[in-house]
Amino acid sequence: MFADRAKITIRSGKGGDGHVSFRRELYVPNGGPDGGDGGNGGSVIFVVDKGLNTLIDYRNAKKFKAEDGQEGGKKNCHGANGKDIILKVPEGTVIKDFETGKVIMDMSDKTEPVVLLRGGHGGKGNQHYVTSVMQAPKYAQPGQPAIEKTVVLELKMIADVGLVGFPSVGKSSLLARVSNARPKIADYHFTTLVPNLGVVDLGAGKGFVMADIPGIIEGASEGKGLGFAFLRHIERTKVLIHVVDASGSEGRDPAEDIKMINEELRSYSSNILERPTVIAANKLDLLTPEEREISLSLIREEFPDAEIFPISAATGEGVREMLLRVDTMVKEAPEDLIVFEPEMDVNELIDSPELPFEVKKSDEKDHTYIIEGPRIEKMLGYTNLESEKGFIFFQNFLKKNGILKMLDDLGIEDGDTVKMYGHEFDYYHE
């Protein structure tokens, strides 16, 4: 079975905790704090490997985890950073959120490694919390938490031209004749389970990449057979060659086959039928001249506006003429690579509604308020408050979760201090 879809769980590394310690040196009776910072957690990084053409590596291994950062040490020793984990995927891989099905990242146009889940920052040691009134702080910042997510990897192959049609109409034979691909060929349904890519070289700088898409059956758009696994590979192509058995060697009606395949494509994605398409009336070598004309006239009658090329993949008859026309169509098609836009910001991976938090006043006489709890700690671990985008997300998080209202209910006033895990803010009403 072709591994073009895989469900995996990925986890970044937790940041190491800051350390609490104090200098203990001879002749230094009041040694100050010297707790070191924790190391940063490792990140989950995806990179395109053009030598891969399946997701087979993710078939059995299901969990991938970056290293946690190490805790800081005494004498200002910084904890070691956790190692990143690098996951290699084929070009054309789309990463989706398992729970929602939303696109997180399309690796098709990525030439550089992509950090999908960033490791947590290491916590600060107690040396950072010295103040005029607190000379010996006995607390340090915990490392920011790891984030874990289940994702689905889908391989949507990248090719200029896609061969579509029912099983056993001769797609594999055509690809083998015109390209460097050598697909397995046999005379029964579903011979092709793996989409094969081949380079078609027409000389004089002409040519394109062609994909033999496994045979489609009626009901494929509803997931019957291996429908979804096959149809997703058509989405990247610029031009379609619809291959039919014009000889009717298996008792099929070529015109009806075209209608059925078109309906499956339309049901899966209406955009696919908008692609430039030619019809390859194959297996003409099995017909007499009179039978050929009858078969072709019936197809032309049903599809008067279609470009129809009578061919024989077995003998090569008519194949070059069709390929030259397809080459022109490819060059006239938009150059833009079909890339699936992200539907989900990485910040959406942060908020975990099931985790608790608490909003409280530090002291009745103090104008300080504290927001804490696993949910707050996790959010801060994946929000860069120094960036405009990160700070906007932070503000929206406070509003969305009712935290601003809770602070109002506690009587907070403009200029009061809000603390959360090492961060301090002056509060002002909007």
**Block means of pLDDT (10 residues each) for the chain, length 430 residues?**
75 91 67 86 93 81 94 90 95 87 86 89 82 73 86 82 84 82 42 62 84 60 46 78 87 86 80 88 92 92 93 93 94 75 62 75 81 81 68 83 89 88 81
Q: Which long-range contacts (CB under 8 A, 24 or more apart) does 29-32 make?
A: 32/127, 32/130, 32/135, 32/136
Taking alpha carbons only, the member of 324, 315, 325 closest to residue 282 is 315
Taking alpha carbons only, the member of 38, 123, 102 closest to residue 72 is 38
Q: What is the pLDDT of residue 78?
A: 92
Q: What is the pLDDT of residue 181?
A: 54
Q: For residue 279, which phi and psi values (nearest 5 degrees)?
A: -105, 125
Output the CA torsion sign for 63, 339, 208, 241: positive
Residue 202 near residue 322, CB atoms below 8 Å: no
For the chain, report the end-to-end CA distance as a whole number of angstroms: 58
Which domains, ranges and CATH numbers included, belong to the chain?
Answer: 1-155 (2.70.210.12), 161-332 (3.40.50.300), 353-426 (3.30.300.350)
Q: What is the pLDDT of residue 192?
A: 40
Q: Global pTM?
A: 0.59
Q: How many CB atoms lie within 10 A of CB 175?
A: 27
Q: What is the pLDDT of residue 307?
A: 95
Q: Which residue has the tokens 């509803």?
A: 222
State the amino acid at position 342 in one-letter form.
P
